[in-house]
Structure formats: C-alpha cells, structure tokens
Amino acid sequence: MSSNIRLQRICELCDKEFIARTTVTKYCSDTCSKRAYKLRKRAEKVEASQARTRKTKTETQEDLKVREFLTVTQVSKLIGCSRQNVYKLINSGKLEATNLLEKKTIVKRSDLDKLFEKSKSEAAPKRRSKPETKTSAAIQDEVSAETIDMSDSYTLVEIMEKFGISESTLYQLIKKNDLSKSKIGGNTYVSKSSIDSLLNHQKPVTAPRPEPIMESDSEASPEPATASPQMNLWPSE
C-alpha cells in the first residue's frame, strides 16, 4: 500500500532537497542511505577502539602504582617524563637504581617515593618569608618615640587650635625661641611646658588706634575769592 504523504526534506548526507513519502526518511536515495550506514559503523568502531585504549592506559597506570620494582620505561610513564630524564636522575645520584643485566635497570618503588619526599623537604625552606627590613625613617620614629613623652607634648594642630594662631606664626615662634620638636610618623610634637610658658605669658601686641583728624572751619569752608576791579582801558569822553 503506497503512502499519500509528500514531505519536503533535506538529505542528511548530501544536503539535497527531496520529497519524502514517510515521516522517518532521512536520505534522498538508497545510495546515500548505504553510505551513511557505513560511516556510522566506522565511527562506532573508532569509538570502541579509543575506549579500549583509554581503559588499557588506566589499567596500566593502576598496575604500575602497585608494583614494587619498575623499569626505566615504567618509571617514565608513572611520573610522566622521558626515559632520558629518568637516566639523568639515576646518573646524578638523585634516584637509586640497580643494573641486574647489561640493559636491564630496575628501580624500587620505595626509592622513587623517597625522591619526591626529599624534593618536598628541600623546597620547604624556600617558602619561608624574608624578615622585614626596617627603613631609616621607621628606625628614627622608634628612637623619637622612646626619647619624647607623647603624653606631655602637643602636636602642631593642637597648638594652633588651642591658642588660635596660624601655622606660619607657630613655625616662627618655634624657630625664634629654639624649641625642640620631634617628628613621629606624620605628626610633629612639641613639649607642652615649653609652649604653655611661651604663649601664656606672651601678651598680644596691638597697634595704636589712629586718632580721627578734625578739620578746621577755615579748611572746611574756604572763603570765596573776591573779584578784582576791572580796569577801564577806554578813554572817557
């Protein structure tokens, strides 16, 4: 019994458009269908082969981990390096090995484990942090903090706020009276006794107030100038 279904499809192999008579048709012809079947079977075989290879590698690694004696090739596979590097370890004395025959070198698994434990113990001191070196400014701050009593000292900001003077005036007073000061961190400290004795006994100097100038009456209202008599230059008749 023929189907009356007509569906527009695209072949999954050659990407050509065709009219399909069933809803499950994927290929435009029998040739494309056979070619797709062969490709699918080939891909399944390749995947099965790769799965067996991965399984063999996994079993080999697990087998090497439980072996007590290993060859150079097995050691290279176990630690993931080349045979030449394994021979370098043996020749340098880092890895102990035994030559049973002329071309047969055997390594004990315990000696291989000792190699990694020794490498960890040698690398441990390198991780220690270096002692912090103090800068000259930090050393100077420590010495200043030891020589000055900070509880009996003012900072420059405290002096300006307490006595109401400007920064330039404060520096002039310190320089003029040769007051000792110490800088610790970002603050400058001056002895309280020196500042109190200087600023509490110092009277503010006020400029004399100018007296108002009174103007005299003569200066305030000057007399008007009198007009000089006009001379008659024409003769009288």
CATH number reported for the structural domain that contains residue 185 in this entry = 1.10.10
Residue 164 lies in a domain: yes
Which range of residues forms the domain containing residue 191?
136-197
What would the pLDDT profile of 60-117 be if each residue is shown by its tens digit? 667 777 788 888 888 888 888 888 998 898 888 888 888 877 778 888 888 888 888 8
The span from the first CA to the last CA of the chain, in angstroms, equals 167
Backbone torsions φ then ψ of 97, nearest 5 degrees = -145, 160
Helix (H) / strand (E) element for 181: namely strand 181-184
The model's pTM is 0.31
CATH number reported for the structural domain that contains residue 79 in this entry = 1.10.10.10
Same domain for 85 and 113? yes
Residue 212 lies in a domain: no
Residue 111 lies in a domain: yes
What would the pLDDT profile of 164-199 be if each residue is shown by its tens digit? 888 888 888 888 888 777 777 677 888 888 888 777
For residue 195, give the nearest of 176, 174, 169 by alpha carbon: 174
Helix (H) / strand (E) element for 105: namely strand 104-108
Total count of domains within the chain: 3
Using an 8 Å Cβ cutoff, are 111 and 95 in contact? yes
Q: What whole-number distance in Å separates Cα of residue 166 and Cα of residue 170?
A: 6
Residue 163: exposure state from Cβ atoms within 10 A (0-12, 13-18, ≥19): middle
